Chain A
Amino acid sequence: MQAFIIRRLLIGVVILFILSITVFLLLRIVPGDPAKQKCGLNCKAEQIEAIRHDMGLDKPYFPIDVESGPPFVSFTSDSQYGSWLGGIFTGDLGTSTVNNRPVTESIRNRFPVTAELMVLTLILTVIIGIPFGIVSAVWKNSLADYAVRLIAIAGLAVPGFWVATLALILPFEWWGYAPPIGKFVKLTADPVGNFKQMIVPAAVLALGSAAGVMRLTRSSLLETLRQDYMRTARAKGLHERSVVFRHGMKNSLIPVVTVLGLQISGLLGGALIVEQIFTLPGLGDYTVRALFQKDFEVVQTMTLYAGVTVVALNLLVDISYAWLDPRIRYS
């Protein structure tokens, strides 16, 4: 188990390294000179050069350079990639052009919003997805089963941004009610007001993931119910309810846990859109703003941040997998 965790951690680091290089290079192929853009029109060459120096754009990309002659590689202590990564480790990420504030401060302020949104979404996903999946499997081919399957199929086909838009438009059209958007209420300041703001976006995000969990719970439970030990449990004279819940659920929920972990990356992507529509000041909103204002330093950092979150959560899921299912032994 320990060896497995260490191996997974190392793989995680490799993954994040690939990701950081990819994003770094991707944002360097952008046409146009950021320094020229910052300087504005009628700008002298020396001024641009000064800004380039200020932004660190005159530094080489990577700390390692390949040369034609021996010793073939040369190292520089000061490079764009190096100072970016160094900044991440020391917590000094510079100032963003999005709001002219330190990036670290923005992340600290915005993190609770996105985290709360994710937690609410996961709770809704579980309390909607799993019970309906169970109903669907236990009463297979009943009317309820068909209804659940239909909802799940539709839930996977509906674009989240469309549901979010309708959640905004239709109540206004029908009852003149506008969901509380615009001014954000902090959880610590007014829990009820905060909940009113968060619940609709969380429900929109949960729609797709709950549909996936429903389908998986159904197929997983059906698979378990077919097993021999379930027949044995019934033959022992156990009540059907305890057969399903004590024996069936325990074994069939394991794959569901993995899928929940895998959904995190999709939900983070969804947060990019939902935070925009419902004007929640979270990390997704920050990333999209930075992207549109071409503050690529911030986009780079946020991308790596999302990567770290996903990799870490997936590692946790894998560990919990082994903990839930003693049959699994990682080597």
Chain B
Amino acid sequence: MAEEIAVRSGAFLGGRAREAGPGIGARLRKLATLARQNPLGTLGLIIIVVFVLVAIFAPWIAPYDPKAFSGQRDEGISASHIFGTERLGRDIFSRVVYGSRISLSVAVISVLIGGSIGICFGIISGYMGGIIDSIIQRTVDAAIAFPALLLLLIITQALGPSFKTIVFALMLAVIPGVTRVVRGAVLSEKNNQYVEAARATGAWAPRVLFRHILPNVVALGIIVMTTLLGTIILAEAALSFLGLGIPGATSWGQDVSKSREFLPYNVNAAVFPGGAITLTVLGFNLLGDAIRDIFDPRLRGSR
């Protein structure tokens, strides 16, 4: 059985891949070198992995139900509440742990969907050219020129805040940036000699597109998507800070907002959820920079 799968996947990958594939040991060594060369990127990856694990295993990590009144109101830091409690006596640590679920899931889903749409638009725009290109590019101009936060606020308020509408709004915010970069990449690939050569041999247009242009361009699109994850987490947090987050959800932005509503201010309730946002965004930014540097040295230091 196992042999059959191996043979099949071998056939799928093509004979060459099987012969040339390095052993697991060699691959790990390569990975270790890569990590040593990019200490900041590695740090970013570690931060993200930790937050992803926290989000997945939240029920086992959080000592209390994030919505239960597990202590007195505005308690300080103690052994039973390591981050203290917020205004209603709920455990801040548990709320920070559960808050990671919303932040990460909303950001990852909207970047995946929006990024894929952006890649499609970018390819269409760059490959087709002409009037379609102009329409897409002017729309992208309009979207980029505009304060994204205002558009997000309008969309979520118009549709009513919920998981779906917030993902939809953030997805729209991702599309223009990805479209722009991918279009540029398609244009430069189109002028490469190998594409011309493929065309000259009479290759069918979609075949040129899928075999030659797509692989190079999609990689770039994915890099841009990684660098956007941090920005999208910030945007989601800002939405929930302004009260347009997912209703009833435990979210970092909303908790920061609640901390300053009444006197006396609750410092712990502001510091810890906000710190969690910063750390997550930092992780994604560091990883995004490192990935970009590794895969596309031309873009190095561009941010």
Q: Judge whether A159 and B274 touch: CB under 8 Å.
A: yes
A42-50, A198-206, A303-311, A322-330: which lies at the B interface?
Answer: A303-311
Among A7-51, those with CB < 8 Å from B are 11, 14-16, 18-19, 22-23, 26-27, 29-31
Q: Judge whether A29 and B150 touch: CB under 8 Å.
A: no
**Contact partner, B146, options A19, A27, A154, A222, Cβ 8 Å:** A19
Bound-complex Cα distance A162 to B243 (A): 14
Query: Which partner residue on chain B sits nearest A306 by CB separation?
Result: B147
Does B154 make an interface contact (CB < 8 A)?
Answer: yes
Question: A85 → chain B, closest Cβ, in Å?
Answer: 16
Does B178 make an interface contact (CB < 8 A)?
Answer: no
Question: A138 → chain B, closest Cβ, in Å?
Answer: 16
Q: Judge whether A162 and B142 touch: CB under 8 Å.
A: no
Does B270 make an interface contact (CB < 8 A)?
Answer: yes
Which chain A positions have C-beta within 8 A of B241?
159, 161, 273
**Contact partner, B160, options A14, A31, A269, A287, Cβ 8 Å:** A31
Among A219-250, those with CB < 8 Å from B are 219, 222
The residue in A16, A156, A161 that gathers the most chain B C-beta atoms within 10 A of its C-beta is A161
Contact with B along A156-185 (1 / 0, CB 8 A): 111111100110111011000000000000
Which chain A positions have C-beta within 8 A of B271?
166
> Interface residues of A toward B: which range?
35 or more
Asked if A269 meets B150 with Cβ closer than 8 Å, knowing A157-B278, A159-B277, A165-B256, the reply is yes
Which chain A positions have C-beta within 8 A of B146?
19, 265, 303, 306-307, 310
Does A88 make an interface contact (CB < 8 A)?
Answer: no
Question: B35 → chain A, closest Cβ, in Å?
Answer: 18
**Contact partner, B301, options A212, A219, A296, A314, Cβ 8 Å:** A219
Does B149 make an interface contact (CB < 8 A)?
Answer: yes
Q: Interface residue count for B (Cβ, 8 Å)?
A: 47
Q: Judge whether B274 and A156 touch: CB under 8 Å.
A: no
Contact with A along B45-89 (1 / 0, CB 8 A): 000000000000000000000000000000000000000000000
Does B209 make an interface contact (CB < 8 A)?
Answer: no
Asked if A156 meets B285 with Cβ closer than 8 Å, knowing A11-B141, A162-B270, the reply is yes
Does A153 make an interface contact (CB < 8 A)?
Answer: yes
Asked if A272 meets B147 with Cβ closer than 8 Å, knowing A157-B285, A166-B274, the reply is yes
Does A291 make an interface contact (CB < 8 A)?
Answer: yes
Does B207 make an interface contact (CB < 8 A)?
Answer: no
Pairs A–B under 8 Å by Cβ, sample size 15: A15-B142, A15-B145, A18-B138, A18-B142, A27-B158, A29-B158, A154-B278, A159-B277, A161-B253, A166-B271, A168-B260, A169-B260, A215-B301, A277-B260, A303-B146
Q: Which residues of A come within 8 Å of B, CB atoms?
A: 11, 14-16, 18-19, 22-23, 26-27, 29-31, 153-154, 156-162, 165-166, 168-170, 172-173, 212, 215-216, 218-219, 222, 265-266, 268-270, 272-273, 276-277, 287-288, 291-292, 294, 296, 299, 302-303, 306-307, 310-311, 314
**Further contacts, 7 of them, CB under 8 A, given A23-B154, A26-B158:** A153-B40, A157-B230, A157-B279, A162-B277, A269-B149, A292-B157, A302-B150
